[in-house]
């Protein structure tokens, strides 16, 4: 039996796990704060889920960003001005890598390095985290900031009967060719589900989408202006938002889709115009929830049925981290069982922070940068300002603030981490001001973009124009050139050339 690897003591350093947008934001904030840290990434380059070939990535060839390029970037390096309103997956990948290059963040990372397990060791103030890596190395860190992405552990439902065709989760879907000459059933109507259903409507022999309930669909463009230029998180009520959608989308039941039984924004908004187009043209068929399987025939609760060759479960993901047992970090829980304050700071383990599980109707990486600053300030305070650290810890261990913004949100698994983006932004600013936190990765002179007031528009309907972008105004540059220039001037990682950012 092989001897167990010796544990390397890195007890005065923190570990950042992941080189997606969250991990990169944390790495920059910690470095600016002067906190000693290491960083690891399972893939060969930065990009997280946007690396198409990253094991476990849910990205497919037809994937696009669902928030606009001019409102979604980091404030200190907005997206390029030549990007379309809704960038394609490889443009987002290149942008993330360009951001890492711009700040020379790759030199902090060991790439091709996956965390297999992270366990708490000891109690506060001596709490440490023991980490096991895929190559057998073991380390002990002062703390961990986990940013692994939260589209990793698929959720797959079960129904009576036995299905004789192929079934798999949408996480495995990559290309339209996989659907050709197949009778395809997509189960679920999240943003990935409706995207795949649209692909099936174009390529499959027959395309069916099954959902348990009706949903609100948000148009990507309203009067030629991207949806995130409108204040959907600040409208006075969900009823007013429903009125706004009724004007711009209409009655979705006319396309064959079920009627929503909940207010808009009860859960994550579905941004897709094409699914309604294909439903209205008969290229896509709507069905309610599955009742049972019988060979290749799928029976639905309304008595209808379809012969199906392939089922794609677009049924979401569990709010879990593959390398931390749920007993140590309960993410999708309520009240006293919820381990994460602001979905970031662990209530029971002061040396575990998480960035990424909060679900909100906004897609800006600038928001991740602001959250990373809160984490980095708090981590640094334990050594440099222990009194302020204790005051913030007391807040972390207190009840969660109301971050609904007055909206009603779905209270069931998979939606319990949904918050109002405007309410979260306001509360984060309030915290940073109250505790005197420094601006680290997030620019101190950040100017928020203007948004179109939906209540005002409903009171005075008129043609709309794109409002100013503030600090998120796109810039003229080529992400690939930025990456190439950084690779030329940055020496390889000391760990090995194969793990250096940009290695083939």
Q: Do 470 and 447 meet the contact criterion of CB atoms below 8 Å apart?
A: yes
445 exposure class (CB count in 10 Å sphere: 0-12, 13-18, 19+): exposed
The enclosing domain of 439 has a CATH number of 3.50.50.60
**Average pLDDT for consecutive 10-residue bins of the chain (504 residues)?**
75 96 98 98 94 89 95 97 97 98 96 96 90 96 93 90 97 96 96 96 98 92 96 95 95 87 86 93 96 98 97 91 91 75 94 87 87 98 97 94 84 64 91 97 95 97 96 97 79 37 30
Q: Do 87 and 18 meet the contact criterion of CB atoms below 8 Å apart?
A: no
Q: What pLDDT is stored for residue 153 in this prediction?
A: 83
Interior angle at CA 491, CA 485 and CA 492, nearest 5: 110
Same domain membership, residue 141 and residue 273: no
* Domain annotation covers residue 118: yes
Same domain membership, residue 110 and residue 203: no
Q: Which of these three, 248, 281, 315, is where a domain ends? A: 315
* Domain annotation covers residue 500: no
Same domain membership, residue 343 and residue 307: no
* Domain annotation covers residue 27: yes
Same domain membership, residue 461 and residue 340: yes
Q: Do 118 and 353 meet the contact criterion of CB atoms below 8 Å apart?
A: no
Q: What pLDDT is stored for residue 415 in this prediction?
A: 54
Q: Which of these three, 273, 298, 315, is where a domain ends? A: 315
**Domain count within the chain:** 2
**DSSP assignment, residue 220?**
S
What Rg, from alpha-carbon coordinates, does the chain have? 23
* Domain annotation covers residue 107: yes
Q: Do 184 and 166 meet the contact criterion of CB atoms below 8 Å apart?
A: no
* Domain annotation covers residue 1: no
Q: Which of these three, 283, 315, 347, is where a domain ends? A: 315
Whole-angstrom distance, CA of residue 376 vs CA of residue 38: 14
Q: What pLDDT is stored for residue 488 in this prediction?
A: 65
Q: What pLDDT is stored for residue 453 in this prediction?
A: 98
Same domain membership, residue 308 and residue 333: no
Q: What pLDDT is stored for residue 496 in this prediction?
A: 31
Q: What pLDDT is stored for residue 498 in this prediction?
A: 28
Whole-angstrom distance, CA of residue 472 vs CA of residue 220: 19
Same domain membership, residue 139 and residue 201: no
Same domain membership, residue 203 and residue 111: no
* Domain annotation covers residue 494: no
* Domain annotation covers residue 496: no
Same domain membership, residue 348 and residue 289: no
Q: Which helix (H) or strand (E) holds 118?
A: strand 115-121
Same domain membership, residue 449 and residue 302: no
Same domain membership, residue 33 and residue 71: yes
Which residues does 2 contact at the CB level (< 8 Å), separation at least 6?
none
* Domain annotation covers residue 273: yes
Structural domain harbouring 112: 7-152+318-488
Q: What pLDDT is stored for residue 318 in this prediction?
A: 84
Same domain membership, residue 327 and residue 472: yes
Give the number of other CB atoms < 10 A from CB of residue 408.
12
Residue whose token pair is 């065709």: 165
Nearest to 124 by CA among 330, 396, 325: 396
- What pTM, to 2 d.p., does this model score? 0.93
DSSP assignment of 8-54, as one string? EEEEEEEEEE--SHHHHHHHHHHHHHT--EEEE-SSSSS-GGGSTTS
Same domain membership, residue 307 and residue 324: no
| 3-class secondary structure, 161 | strand
């Amino acid at each position: 039996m092989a001897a167990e690897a010796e544990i390397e003591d890195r007890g005065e350093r923190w570990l950042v796990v992941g080189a997606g947008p969250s991990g990169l934001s944390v790495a920059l904030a910690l470095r600016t704060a002067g906190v000693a840290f290491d960083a690891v990434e399972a893939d060969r380059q930065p990009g997280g889920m946007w690396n198409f070939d990253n094991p476990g990535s849910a990205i497919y060839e037809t994937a696009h960003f669902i928030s606009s390029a001019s409102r979604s970037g980091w404030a200190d390096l907005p997206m390029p001005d030549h990007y379309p309103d809704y960038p394609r997956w490889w443009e987002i990948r290149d942008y993330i890598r360009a951001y890492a290059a711009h700040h020379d963040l790759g030199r902090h990372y060991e790439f091709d390095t996956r965390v297999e397990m992270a366990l708490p060791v000891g109690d506060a103030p001596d709490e440490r985290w023991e980490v096991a890596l895929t190559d057998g190395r073991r380390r002990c860190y002062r703390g961990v900031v986990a940013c692994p992405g939260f589209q990793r552990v698929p959720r797959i439902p079960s129904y009576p009967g036995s299905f004789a065709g192929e079934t798999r989760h949408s996480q495995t879907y990559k290309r339209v060719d996989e659907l050709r000459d197949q009778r395809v059933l997509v189960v679920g109507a999240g943003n990935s589900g409706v995207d795949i259903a649209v692909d099936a409507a174009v390529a499959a022999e027959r395309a069916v989408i099954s959902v348990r309930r009706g949903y609100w669909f948000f148009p990507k463009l309203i009067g030629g202006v991207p949806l995130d230029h409108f204040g959907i998180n600040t409208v006075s009520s969900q009823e007013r938002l429903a009125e706004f959608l009724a004007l711009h989308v209409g009655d979705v039941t006319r396309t064959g889709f079920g009627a929503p039984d909940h207010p808009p924004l009860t859960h994550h908004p579905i941004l897709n115009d094409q699914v309604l187009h294909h439903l209205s043209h008969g290229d896509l068929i709507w069905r309610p929830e599955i009742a049972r399987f019988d060979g290749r025939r799928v029976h639905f609760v309304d008595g209808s049925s379809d012969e199906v060759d392939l089922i794609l479960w677009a049924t979401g993901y569990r709010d879990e981290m593959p390398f931390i047992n749920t007993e140590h970090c309960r993410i999708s829980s309520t009240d006293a069982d919820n381990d994460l304050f602001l979905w970031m700071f662990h209530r029971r383990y002061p040396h575990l922070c998480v960035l990424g599980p909060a679900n909100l109707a906004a897609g800006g990486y600038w928001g991740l940068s602001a959250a990373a600053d809160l984490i980095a300030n708090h981590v640094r305070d334990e050594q440099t300002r222990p009194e302020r650290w204790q005051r913030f810890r007391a807040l972390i261990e207190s009840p969660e603030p109301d971050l609904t913004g007055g909206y009603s949100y779905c209270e069931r698994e998979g939606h319990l981490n949904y918050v109002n983006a405007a309410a979260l932004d306001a509360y984060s600013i309030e915290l940073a001001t109250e505790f005197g936190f420094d601006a680290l990765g997030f620019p101190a002179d950040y100017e928020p973009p203007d948004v179109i007031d939906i209540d005002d528009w409903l009171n005075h309907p008129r043609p709309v124009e794109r409002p100013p972008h503030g600090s998120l105004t796109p810039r003229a540059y080529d992400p690939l050139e930025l990456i190439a220039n950084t690779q030329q001037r940055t020496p390889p990682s000391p760990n090995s050339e194969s793990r250096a950012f940009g290695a083939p």
